[in-house]
A and B are shown apart, each in its own frame.
Chain A
Amino acid sequence: MNLGDWISQPVNWVFTLLALASAYSGVRVVTSQNVIRAALFLVGALASSAGLFLLLSAEFVALTLVLVYIGAVIVLFLFGIMITRAPLGRDVALDHKRRAPAAITSIILFAVLSWASIRAFAGREVTGVGDATDTRLLGEALLGRFVVPFEVVSFLLLAALIGGITLARKDLSPAEEEAREAT
């Protein structure tokens, strides 16, 4: 495929736009000085990845990304911010000095992901999956081949919530409560 063919396909334009938007939002998530702003750029990054899934005609996955990540997980982040600190204004302490480990980790992660995707798709055209990702096929795969992981997920969710509650709600006994109020 030469450059002329590449430019003539609108799908490629949409892909370029989405990829740029997702990369830009990703960078801004890290560089934003304000936690809420960073969370909102994360929304942008997730929304553009949902767009990428749409391009691969995986609409169920795309909308799941919007529904679960943008609609629930980021809201959880926002609440997490609201319960821990003043959600207003600029946050000077939002940076830290350990940049080298972060850089090494992200380079390794990038290398692993690129290696995996090149190994999996090298030389093959990824677009035009067509009807292969129909919701019904997904349901079949989920309850057929992947039924054990699927049931394990439910157990994992239960464990996560019990952990969350245990951390969040340390119920004090009346005696402890009084001691705490006295101080």
Chain B
Amino acid sequence: MQLIDYLPIAIMAALAVAFVGVSLFVSKFFSPRNPTPEKLAPYECGILPESEPVQRFPVKFYLVAMLFVIFDVEIIFLFAWATRFPDLGWYGVAAMGIFTLFVLETLIYVWKRGALDWNVSRRARYRPVDEERAA
């Protein structure tokens, strides 16, 4: 790899910044500007906002992000293996298979624990882990 391969990427990024910057800047000169208190209020379907935006989000979002980190790492490793697939043969397939099965197991665990269920009430989500163990 040569660093020069990334020159077009850098040029395009600079061009993108220039394009957005110039459009936003020039547009300001041609557009009207008359702010009113109603216009500047946060959008609330035309009525006055009564409460601040939600304070906390459900923890499910966090679990999804965590699961995504794991899958991202998995994908990176899979790419490194996939480019070398024909040379590594069954040995590589086995190594990758063990890795993938662990990730699959993670997914199944999360699934069975109900972390992937949305719009389910707390009570319905309850799984009596201890009772299962006792049975």
Contact = CB atoms under 8 A, between A and B. Distances in A.
Interface in A147-163: 147, 150-151, 153-155, 157-158, 160-162
A82 B56 CA distance: 6
B129 interface: yes
A60 B115 CA distance: 32
B98 A151 contact: yes
Given A83-B56, A139-B81, A139-B83, A158 B102 contact: yes
A157 B126 CA distance: 25
Given A79-B61, A169-B113, A157 B103 contact: yes
B36 interface: no
Interface of B: 1-3, 6, 52-53, 55-59, 61-70, 72-77, 79-84, 87-88, 91-92, 95-96, 98-99, 102-103, 105-106, 109-110, 113-115, 122-123, 125-129
Interface of A: 11, 54-55, 57, 59-60, 64, 67-68, 71-73, 75-76, 79-80, 82-86, 88, 130-131, 133-136, 138-140, 142-143, 147, 150-151, 153-155, 157-158, 160-162, 164-165, 168-169, 171-174, 177
